A and B are shown apart, each in its own frame.
Chain A
Amino acid sequence: AQSVTQLGSHVSVSEGALVLLRCNYSSSVPPYLFWYVQYPNQGLQLLLKYTSAATLVKGINGFEAEFKKSETSFHLTKPSAHMSDAAEYFCAVTTDTGRRALTFGSGTRLQVQP
């Protein structure tokens, strides 16, 4: 079985500041890891994914995440927050070349202050 834990249900940053959203995973087999973003009243949009290639993964909108096996972490970062980044972010894990269902974290709501 696999699981993800997102530390911090709400994160608030100032515009231009570093964004750091934390995700730790648990998996008995090599995981595939994802970050999704959900804007208000919208569906899920894939930000980036780790599928056992490069450990530093770059995604859309300037986001990136680093897979650290020793720390079982897959934290999401962005050097400079923009007002349009305000949304809810979900970390997710799956296994078996992604043929299994995704297990999502509880989500982190990012607020960006002007």
Chain B
Amino acid sequence: DSGVTQTPKHLITATGQRVTLRCSPRSGDLSVYWYQQSLDQGLQFLIQYYNGEERAKGNILERFSAQQFPDLHSELNLSSLELGDSALYFCASSVGISDSYNEQFFGPGTRLTVL
């Protein structure tokens, strides 16, 4: 158990819908990362937050957005869903400090199926 929790574990929805995926980082971790794992794109970085602020963006679609709340949990919002958005979405967290190595700890993932 990495200490990172993600809910829900599975999500089945229809095209055009909107969903929210939730991530609670390990206690004390300030940085949260979202990754998408799909059959055609592999594992790719979507977006990173550090202490409530967006820090870096990867290959995140405009239909997707995220935020990190004052209690440091994060939500990934996916809207106008398409079949191709079906994927496993991972959240990872790390301490986020600069003067020592920051290991990223991964949550179990949320499997999204768009029908």
Residue of B33, B45, B58, B101 near A97 (CB, 8 A) is: B101
Residue of A51, A90, A98 near B94 (CB, 8 A) is: A98
In whole angstroms, how far apart are the Cα atoms of A15 and B10 in the complex? 34
A98 touches B42 (CB 8 A): no
Given known A97-B102, A99-B102, A107-B43, contact A43–B107 (CB-CB < 8 A)? yes
Interface residues on B, range: 20 to 34
Q: Does A5 contact B (CB under 8 A)?
A: no
Interface size counted on chain A using CB atoms at 8 A: 20
Could you tell me the distance in whole angstroms from the C-beta of A42 to the nearest C-beta in chain B? 8
B103 touches A98 (CB 8 A): yes
Who on chain B is nearest to A104 by CB?
Answer: B43
Could you tell me the distance in whole angstroms from the C-beta of B14 to the nearest C-beta in chain A? 23
In whole angstroms, how far apart are the Cα atoms of A101 and B104 in the complex? 9
Contact residues of B between 12 and 55, Cβ < 8 Å to A: 31, 33, 35, 42-45, 48
A99 touches B96 (CB 8 A): yes
Q: Does A49 contact B (CB under 8 A)?
A: yes
B45 touches A102 (CB 8 A): yes
In whole angstroms, how far apart are the Cα atoms of A31 and B44 in the complex? 18
Q: Does B56 contact A (CB under 8 A)?
A: yes
Question: Among A42, A90, A97, which residue has the most Cβ atoms of chain B within 10 A?
Answer: A97
Residue positions of B touching A, CB distance < 8 A: 31, 33, 35, 42-45, 48, 56, 58, 90, 92, 94, 96-104, 106-109
